[in-house]
Structures are given as C-alpha cells and as structure tokens.
Chain A
C-alpha cells in the first residue's frame, strides 16, 4: 500500500492551501498529518480525520473520503512553511504508512 502526495505546494501569505494524500487502502479513521521543520522532529497537526491536538491553531483542518485525505490551512502563516506528511494504517491497522511528504512554501 502507498500514500501519494504532491512533492511541493506554495501558497501566498494569508491564503488557503490544501495538501492532499491519496491511497487505495487509506483508512479514514487512522488518517493523520505531521508537520516537520528542518532539523526538528515531526509534530502531529491533525489525527483521526479531523482532530487537532491542543496547541495546534484552528486554521488547520482535515478531511478524508474515498481514498483521499486532505489537510487544509486556512490563512497560511509564515510559520506554516514546512514539510507535511500524511499517515494511515494498513487494513489490519498494525502497519503504519507515510506519504512521501509535501513541502509547503508560504510566499
């Protein structure tokens, strides 16, 4: 099973951007998104389709349907510039899958 992401996306400061993740066997309940800045560990920003951990701004939201997961940042800020990875599980929920990552540039 594979999760496919666009390698790079750009957005103007303050505008809305959507990052997508496609996988034939993407399990919606286990869909999550991680943000990673250079030299840092990843940080979960969305889990379980559309749950935000405490401390993650409300401009981050998620949606999953029909084998596609999406992460939307409404009103992107400079600090949102990072690599974003989607993740899910295999059919047995034991193996973890990561997408190839999307580099977000905020212009």
Chain B
C-alpha cells in the first residue's frame, strides 16, 4: 500500500535552515510528480512546491520562492524540502503529497511534519 512519511520537522530560530524529508513506499516513486503543502496552525492549506517525476521541473508558491528548494532522490524514494531563511510565518505542518495523473489531484498524503520558527 502507498505510504508517505515525513521527517525533519522541529523548532528553529528565524533566519535558520531546516530540511524536510518524505520517504515513499508502495508505489513506483520515480513515476510520480510530488508536492509539498503546508498548513499554519488553525489556518487552511497552502501549496508550497512541486517537482516533476524526474526532478527536471520545479515550481514554487510565491511566499517561498527563492527561500525553499524542492528536490528528490529517486534511488532512495525520497522527496526533500530545503527551507532557508525561515520566518515565523513559515510555522506550519508540512505535508508531502503524491500527484495522480492525468488530472493532478493529490491522491495520497503523509501525516505531516510540524515546523515551528521561533526565537
């Protein structure tokens, strides 16, 4: 069965960096585009970034562009989110999600990794 598991969350000071990982299992990871979506405490869903199945194409939400970098290692079935220059407003639970072709819905989600940016 499909399973996505995030790790790497925690408490970090403003301006510092953090890297999230999402390990996938139960499907051919290298065949699927993947996404990161976040949810601030008590708030709605916010799309963060996406990478194509082979990592060649990447797109970012306006609020993280230039600070966050999405990447993947298909040999290890792992998706990453490198977060630099963190701000208090980046505090959220970060979910990884699989995109299902051809209509692009997010058919599987991880349980989320909490990130708190605070001094």
Contacts and interface: CB of A to CB of B under 8 A. Distances in A.
B59 interface: yes
A95 B37 CA distance: 12
Contacts of B11: none
Nearest to A41: B109
Summarize B's interface: helix, strand, loop or mixed: strand
Contacts, number: 61
A47 to B, nearest CB: 4
Q: How large is the interface on A (under 10, 10 to 19, 20 to 34, 35 or more residues)?
A: 20 to 34
Q: How large is the interface on B (under 10, 10 to 19, 20 to 34, 35 or more residues)?
A: 20 to 34
B107 interface: yes
Given A30-B103, A41-B109, A95 B47 contact: yes
Interface of A: 29-30, 32, 34, 36, 41-44, 47-48, 51, 53, 83, 85, 87, 89, 93-101
B103 A96 contact: no
